[in-house]
Amino acid sequence: MNMPRNGFKAALARNATQYGIWAGFATGYAAEIVAGLGYDWMLIDGEHAPNTVPSVLNQLQTVAPYTTAPVVRAVNGDASLIKQLLDVGAQTLMIPMVETAEQAQALVRAMRYPPHGIRGVGGGLTRATRWDGVADYLNTAHEELCLIVQVESRLGVENVAAIAAVEGVDAVFIGPADLSIGLGHAGNPSHPEVQERIRHAVDATLAAGKVSGILAPNEEDARRYQAWGCRFIAVAIDISLLRQSALATLARYRPAADTQAPSRTY
């Protein structure tokens, strides 16, 4: 059996924007709906959604027949958790709150087998190897794995050039919400200081020869970040879409009590 191909990693190598959607319902049923819509990639969120390793596995299995590529965000950079997520078949991981090159190097090691890393060998126990069905998995797994580090703090942006330069880091994803609150502008990622720091992070990532991505459900934001050079952009969040659509539908029949515009914090 051949190694499963990582379509997302292959797409990053092309000079075309990959449009993604956040999948936050933590169920295979909802994930399958999202996977069938035509987005280039979907983020299975293990940081802020109530996901566990078994629920991530369920969603990976559910969306496997679709062309939308799954990206799994871990709750943190714990090496044991990374091992579990890789073993159940995640090929692209996003790790939040990376602030130094040393952190990025540790994440690379967590994703690779010795002598280049510390990932434990699961062999025939793991879905990643197709239960020992993939020939020479131990020596070739890294070729189809993709590591996205998330830069979303003042310190992370200060160190973004060094983080992006780490061998084994494939892409840098910027988190506007955490960055804005870390810079003292809670709920206002459009603040000039936040925008300047985002632009700096994008430029430094591109200068290191890596790919930059961002979460931008607001169209104006998404198009600006695309013009700056971001090549994978999450332009929707499934939970937000449900809420906004439900409110808009009700408002057609009853004056809306909640007239607040959709948040641009994310």
> Would you please indicate which residues are annotated as catalytic (active-site) residues?
48
Phi, psi angle pair for 171, to nearest 5°: -155, 160
Evaluate whether 219 touches 208 at the Cβ level (below 8 Å). Answer: no
Q: Which residues pair with 72 in a beta bridge?
A: 44, 93
Q: How far is Cα of residue 98 from the mean position of the Cα atoms in its chain?
A: 13
Helices assigned H by DSSP within the chain: 7-12, 28-35, 53-63, 79-87, 101-110, 137-140, 154-158, 160-164, 176-182, 192-207, 219-228, 238-251
Measured CA to CA, the distance from residue 70 to residue 42 in angstroms comes to 5
Residue closest to 210 by CA, chosen among 227, 183, 230: 230
Measured CA to CA, the distance from residue 220 to residue 78 in angstroms comes to 35
The size of the chain, in residues, is 266
Measured CA to CA, the distance from residue 31 to residue 263 in angstroms comes to 23
